[in-house]
């Protein structure tokens, strides 16, 4: 049986919006895992960074991306954040069926 793909939402976040996203995740979500991406093929092993570490790594340019797996209002979500060459961070959000 083929289930439909989850809805995908995306946008570009400026610095203030990125800061607000991390504040909101810390305040209202249950964060299960945060992963950093340093190169196109290299992730840090699971469960090794905090939200604060991910925010710092993204804003200083130490990491090119991050994934945040969390629960909010009885649903599971994955936010993938990728730095862009132009400056804003690209957000891709999906609701998962875990």
Task: Specify the pLDDT at position 77.
Answer: 95
DSSP secondary structure code for residue 47 in this structure: T
Return per-residue pLDDT of the chain as tens, 98 residues: 677 777 789 999 999 999 999 999 999 999 999 998 887 665 555 557 899 999 999 999 888 999 999 999 989 999 999 999 888 999 999 998 75
Domains identified in the chain, total number: 1
Q: Is the residue at 33 inside a domain?
A: yes
What is the spatial distance between Cα 38 and Cα 54, in angstroms, rounded to a whole number?
11
Q: Where in the sequence is the domain holding 47, given as residue range(s)?
A: 13-96
Q: Is the residue at 64 inside a domain?
A: yes
Q: Is the residue at 4 inside a domain?
A: no
Task: Specify the pLDDT at position 40.
Answer: 63
Angle, helices 51-60/15-28, rounded to nearest 10 degrees: 170
Q: Is the residue at 8 inside a domain?
A: no
């Amino acid at each position: 049986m083929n289930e439909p793909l989850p809805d995908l939402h995306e946008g570009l976040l400026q610095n203030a919006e990125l800061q607000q996203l991390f504040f909101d995740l810390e305040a209202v979500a249950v964060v299960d895992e945060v992963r950093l991406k340093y190169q196109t093929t290299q992730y840090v092993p699971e469960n090794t960074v905090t939200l604060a570490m991910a925010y710092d790594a993204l804003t200083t340019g130490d990491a090119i991306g991050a994934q945040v797996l969390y629960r909010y209002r009885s649903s599971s979500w994955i936010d993938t954040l990728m730095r862009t060459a132009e400056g804003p961070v690209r957000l891709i959000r999906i609701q998962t069926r875990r």
